[in-house]
């Protein structure tokens, strides 16, 4: 059966653990200049139907590191601007013999639809407000590097949960791996189906941050909002901005995270964003290595293949 990376919700803890372990190992090997297995005969299509900076570059870097060939695709300049449907576009790419697709789309579920018609692995690079699995894997690797574990940690996810695929994928991952998740924000930015998400709700920043090990801020997603959800950006910042000062409420060695793009002075103040506790740049870098792991994994490989590769290298 073809493996996809469509979301974290559908993964079990063993698969998440294996992806994280592989991501950490690829990182060590890339940084130390040690050999790792590659996928040189495969071609991956990068389908970005929505804007992206870090996700797109991280997927491209990961693909290059692991030896994949890359074909870029955007709606502008393609037959989709002539009205071709998503299904027909995916079928076209299939018969042009692409082996995997990375896909970002504003519609939740679009990568799952693509997976039905494509035939090979599909990796979700963010679909609507649904999931962003590779982001969550990179964030988890970043936490593990500092804390040595996920289990038992208290993670406060602060801000626009309603529109955030990052929040959803992180919440699923963290809770499956034994962390305690809190969602912190105004009622209007927490989804009405909150009870279906794994975590507790805090409407007040002080109680949400109380003794938290990790404070994960989310961007206010103005492009997905209809007017009226927050009375003003200034009002949001006054009540929910994470600052060097209010981080006093969290655990003394708490970590500060943000998936980017960051609205400085809205979700985080400069001191908190650029301070010692901030892992924002680590999140970006680790995004590459978990995506290498994701490519390796969706093509059917796992930890034992890495070990086999090492045995063969030692013999050669």
User: Rule CB under 6 A: which residues touch ligand NCD?
Assistant: 54-55, 126, 132, 135, 165-166, 219, 221, 259-260
Exposed/middle/buried for residue 224 (C-beta within 10 Å: 0-12, 13-18, 19+): middle
Direct distance between the N- and C-terminal alpha carbons of the chain, in angstroms, rounded to an integer: 32
Q: How far is the CB of 214 from ligand NCD (least distance, A)?
A: 17
**Nearest distance from C-beta of residue 250 to ligand NCD, angstroms:** 22
Alpha-carbon distance of 133 to 127, in angstroms, equals: 10
Q: What does the CA dihedral 105, 40, 314, 27 come to, rounded to 10 degrees?
A: -30
Name which of 126 and 208 has its Cβ closer to ligand NCD: 126
CA distance 176 to 188: 26
Q: Which is nearer to ligand NCD, 99 or 169 (CB)?
A: 169
Radius of gyration over every alpha carbon of the chain, rounded to an integer in angstroms: 20
Measured from the CB atom, the residue of 108 and 221 that comes closer to ligand NCD is: 221
Using CA atoms, how far apart are residues 126 and 56, in angstroms rounded to an integer?
10
Q: How far is the CB of 211 from ligand NCD (least distance, A)?
A: 26
Nearer residue to ligand NCD within complex by CB, 42 or 104 = 104
Least distance (Å) between residue 139 CB and ligand NCD: 9
- Write down the least CB distance from residue 140 to ligand NCD, Å: 14
Comparison of 221 and 244: residue with beta carbon closer to ligand NCD: 221
Taking CB atoms, the residue at the shortest distance from ligand NCD is 219
- Closest approach, Cβ 72 to ligand NCD, in A, equals 17
Q: Is 152 helix (H, G, I), strand (E, B) or coil?
A: coil
Pick 25 or 139: Cβ nearer ligand NCD? 139
Q: What are the b/e assignments for 168-183, b being 16+ CB within 10 Å?
A: bbbbbbbbbbebbbbb
* Token pair of 18 as six digits: 């294996």
């Amino acid at each position: 059966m073809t493996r996809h990376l469509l979301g974290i919700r559908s993964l079990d803890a063993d698969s998440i653990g294996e992806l994280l372990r592989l991501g950490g190992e690829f990182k060590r090997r890339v940084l130390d200049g040690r050999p790792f297995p590659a996928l040189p005969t495969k071609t991956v299509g990068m389908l970005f139907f929505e804007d992206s900076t870090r996700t797109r570059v991280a997927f491209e870097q990961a693909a290059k590191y692991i030896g994949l060939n890359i074909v870029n695709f955007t709606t502008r300049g393609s037959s989709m601007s002539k009205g071709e449907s998503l299904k027909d576009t995916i079928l076209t790419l299939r018969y042009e013999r692409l082996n995997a697709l990375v896909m970002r789309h504003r519609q939740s579920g679009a990568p799952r639809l693509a997976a039905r018609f494509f035939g090979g692995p599909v990796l979700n690079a963010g679909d609507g407000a649904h999931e962003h699995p590779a982001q969550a894997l990179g964030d988890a690797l970043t936490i593990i590097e500092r804390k040595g574990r996920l289990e038992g940690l208290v993670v406060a996810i602060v801000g626009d949960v309603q529109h955030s695929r990052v929040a959803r994928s992180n919440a699923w991952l963290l809770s499956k791996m034994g962390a305690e998740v809190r969602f912190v924000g105004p009622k209007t930015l927490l989804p009405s189906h909150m009870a279906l998400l794994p975590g507790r709700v805090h409407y007040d920043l002080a109680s949400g941050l109380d003794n938290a090990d990790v404070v994960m801020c989310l961007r206010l997603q103005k492009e997905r909002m209809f007017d009226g959800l927050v009375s003003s950006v200034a009002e949001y910042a006054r009540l929910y901005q994470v600052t060097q000062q209010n981080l006093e409420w969290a655990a003394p060695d708490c970590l500060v995270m943000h998936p980017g793009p960051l609205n400085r002075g809205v979700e985080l103040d400069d001191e908190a964003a650029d301070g010692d506790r901030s892992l924002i740049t680590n999140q970006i870098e680790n995004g590459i290595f978990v995506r290498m792991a994701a490519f390796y994994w969706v093509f059917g490989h796992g930890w034992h293949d890495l070990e086999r590769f090492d045995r063969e290298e030692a013999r050669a």
